[in-house]
Structure 1
Amino acid sequence: MTASTGWGEESRRPPRSEPLPADPTGQRLCEIFGHYPWNFIRADLPDDATAKAAWTTVTTYPLRPRVLWNHWQDANQLIGVRFTHDTRYALLDLDAGGDYCTPEGVAQLRAALETLGITRTLLLRSSWSGGLHLYIPFAELVNTFNLAVALKECFKAQGFRLQAGQLEIFPNVKAYGVQTFIEYMGHRLPLQPGSGSSLLDDDLNPIGDSLARFFWLWDGAAGHQDMDTLRHAMKIGRDNHRKRPKRRSHPVESWRQDLDLEITEGWTAYGQTNHLLKTIACYGRVFEGLQGQALIDYTLRIALHCPGYEQYCRHQHDIERKVIAWARAVEGYYWPLGTTPTRDTSHPKNNLVPFNQRQTEDAQHRIRAAYTTLEQAGELPEQITARAKAIALAAKVSQQTLYKHLTLWHPEHQEGVIAQIASLLAPEEPSSEATTGSLGPFEIKELHPLEGDMKGEALCAGELGSDTNSFSPARGVRGDETFFPQDAEHRAYNLDLHEQIQNQIRSLGWSGEVIRQFIADQFEGKRWFELTDDERFLLLYRLRVVD
């Protein structure tokens, strides 16, 4: 086995003495296209010449040269072959309606091929559907995989779209099968009678369907290729392919490749119509930027040209209706790559507490409980290291976790919190306004009310009329201002209750702002100094319930 021979192919190679057809043209056909007889493809010629053929793979027997020539001459069937490890040609498939199925598109492809040393090609109409096949002949055998890589790299570098429905390369860059041998993709043979295939000029006008003329043009084109340039390009392409990291592609590019693979494979069994229509519409929406009727037309065109459509799709009678439904559904869910999303992609909010947060809150609770227990039992060490060990042991946490919450137990970090608590819960100091007017030592003196401060005053004689019920605004009216304020009695201060509340707040690790808000929430907006003794007892209870 030579170095270029693919795994599993040696045992399939036909005997070199395989008899060829008697017809010289048939011999040329078998020499070029009969190099690999296994797993060939065939299809019955559709009644509608423009319909897509239902290709199947024949695995039961090899395609011998004389059988190949006989099948090619049969106008009632279509025949196709696959590549082996070496080849004398390549083929570009341009689907009808694609961007490159025009004289201008063909000219662009030919210009790109010249960068590889390929200066001559043969242009054919592939079938009555109007698709094009651009054959690339060589005068000698070349490595199939290296050629496939070079062609792919060439077109990708120059911005061509390599995908089903646009531009496909035969041979394709196939994967390497570890457990099973993976075949190259098959293609139909040229110029079969009744297939609609014919030679074309540069303006896509038919110029005949003679197979003998095809091989005459083939030999002329093969002799003009720059094989040195091609071999150099193949080596560079293969080296680049080997060096390319296999599993570091961008997720978007991987998604694109996956969709393209799905579309390229087409239908392989029944029950795949919905999946494939969604895949095609998704590709058109995201990577082609299509919408509306353009997306519908794209999805329908690609679906009708996918392999296996005629054989396995059971919705051919209503395919347009299903395409419209899927195109509309996809358009509402996906958006073109690089544009603003058309739907809300944010995750719905939930009330679930993250696991890490629950772990942190549980650790804080155990540290506070351990601190309070040790303090109340008089067993809280003063020395920091000893205190940390005692609290960590009682709380069943690590030293690392303990030092993440210094404000709960470390004296130096508790000072700020304790100062806020002490300031908040301290007895209210008399205001400056009250102390400014405070009197000196209490003295017993007579109190003489001022004239203007009397509740009432005698009426002048002239003002007293015969109506004893007459009323004067100044008569019997309470003064608007209080001129004899009495100092409110100071509420008795329960020091023991104060200390219990302070210790409870300290064990919670709350800041002064949190405490103020808690009191306001629990007691209708009141502040600490406005609470009664009963309310302060209730505050202590509610603080303990919180813990």
Structure 2
Amino acid sequence: MTASIGWGEESRRPPRSEPLPADPTGQRLCEIFGHYPWNFIRADLPDDATAKAAWTTVKDYPLRPRVLWNHWQDANQLIGVRFTHDTCYALLDLDAGGDYCTADGVAQIRAALETIGITRTLLLRSSWSGGLHLYLPFAERINTFNLAVALKECLKAQGFRLQAGQLEIFPNVKAYGVQAFIEYMGHRLPLQPGSGSCLLDDALNPIGDSLARFFWLWDGAAGHQDMDTLRHAMKIGRDNHRKRPKRRSHPVESWRRDLDLEITEGWTAYGQTNHLLKTIACYGRVFEGHQGQALIDYTLRIALHCPGYEQYCRHQHDIERKVIAWVRAVEGYYWPLGTTPTRDTSHPKNNLVPFNQRQSESAQHRIRAAYRELEQTGELPEQITARAKAIAQRARVSQQTLYKHLSLWHPEHQKGVIALTASFLAPEEAISEASPKTSEPWKIKELHPSERDMKGEALCAGELGSDTNSFIPDRGVRGDEVAFPQEAEPAAYDLDLHEQIQHQVRSLGWSGEVIRQFIADRFEDKRWSELTEDERFLLLYHLRVLDSLEAGEPADVTAQDPSPINR
């Protein structure tokens, strides 16, 4: 779909020579709301004025300008139109009884609209039901879809609920039709006689239903919109909409459709009975929630009515026995969707001890023995690096393996294991320990929309609402001070170095506890966040040396030259 025009609209444009009504007000109505004459909507005026109208779409013929004016004047019917590829207005529908159908709700919406350059609006009661229509007029025609996206992004970013019965946007963000053209939603025309529509002030008091006054207010509001700001917001909104990933079907729904398709096709050849009985029982168990005799009855009933059963099923004489067997098998393997799994997968398949587990247990045994021998002979070093080297040599293990089992030899870890509350090497101060250095708790900070998501400008607190009779260019609901208060950008951080260190830690198979202790031993009890950039490069070098050592060949890496690191 192109940005300028939707498929199927070019051939539907009305001729530019369409005769307009003789009445100047009627001409203005047709110029604004008669731009797209196709698929208009209409409804008879209900006997109960507050009842919901039964709208229908007229697809047989276009709504010509003079006919549009004639229908608008008819107090016995309601008329509505749709948007085309460009528009000179938008409309917000605030349903009666919703959260925003109040003076305060309107003021909040108007304040939100000012952040994208829409500083003037016209407020109407839409009908006798008490709903509100907030018109957003513009002095020039703009792209309809881009405007719809900008309005949606703006209101959603500021916490408004966009849904039927609360707040709806016209034009809506419609889908792109591949097989057929999809229309924008239609809306009723303003101030139609007998409809209950009228102009309102900021306090929601009626101030008349004159169409001529409506267009006078329209022109004043349109001339005061900040179109540059709006165009920028439209561009950002459209870019965000394009980058948003497309919704994909859920795998559970795909599985359900696949099972349903197989059951619908039924038997198409011999030798399919076992497969189909399993499929039917699986569907009944997972998606219908049957069990026991109910699942047996369900599977049997569906199987007997499947296409091809009588022609191709060779187990008709014992079909019930086959069904019972498959139901028992399915119940042991599947469970109803949304319930707790009934299949226990926690038991090992055999009693064999995995090879890696045997190797680990053997290494731990040798480390304990080496520690006891060194301690008994008085040869156990006090310095951590020397102790690690001595134990590794005596136990015939690498330092990588040794640091996986700190509790067996390290003095601090023999006193107890510190509970880990966060993964190691999160950027900067995200590392949390059992005893943090600061007593100030984490605080959840409020986030505001940023320019990446929507054009936003904070405006000073001031008078709420927009006076439909006053059009001062410099006046705004929140003032003229720009820029939302945003969170300060974090300090520069070498992400490439950070990722290399993370890779080495994962390669070594170390936990957060192990690498933290390794850093403390090598860098005078420092934490990760306290290391300088040079020390972090040195840490990367130490980790690479350890990773390159073969098992059983320990080395004191602190004495090595870190120059091979590519900085």
Tell me the TM-score normalized by structure 2.
Answer: 0.45
Higher relative contact order (CA 8 A, sep 6+): 2
Q: Which has the higher helix share?
A: 1
Greater Rg by CA = 1
Tell me the TM-score normalized by structure 1.
Answer: 0.47
